[in-house]
Amino acid sequence: MKNTARIFKALADETRLRILALLLHEGELCVCDIMAALQLPQSTASRHLAYLKNAGWVEDRRMGVWMYYSVAAERGAIQKELAELLRQRLPELCTADEDLKRLVSFSHRSNCA
């Protein structure tokens, strides 16, 4: 039951939902992309990503100095069902379009260079 509670607690924050919306849409993103799209300082983005990772929502990989994040491949049944629901509903958030526009704009300029 504690694991299920942790899964839901991770979704109880708007910033984490916005991060998941980007990752569900894009697949994998560098932390710098997430920072730019959500207009967050690195420390805030990393803190929320760590929370999502500890709850089993995301996984990371390092490439040089950058960390890349994606939705975790191995999830339990509850998380798989919630991920599908989130994939359908998170784009409806009023900030989702704005976040994606900033992400596209940022990615075309620098891509974490």
Residues 53-107 pLDDT 10s:
999 999 999 999 889 999 998 778 888 899 999 989 988 877 888 999 899 888 6
E-strand stretches of 25-105: 28-30, 58-63, 66-71
Determine the angle formed by the axes of helices 42-54 and 2-10, rounding to 10 degrees: 150
| pTM of the complete model | 0.88
pLDDT, tens digit (0-9, with 9 covering 90-100), for 1-31? 778 899 999 999 999 999 999 999 999 999 9
Average pLDDT, the chain: 89
The percentage of the chain sitting over the pLDDT mark of 90, rounded to a whole number, equals: 65
Is domain 2-104 in CATH 3.30.460.20, yes or no? no
With CA atoms as reference, report the closest residue to 102 among 15, 36, 24: 36
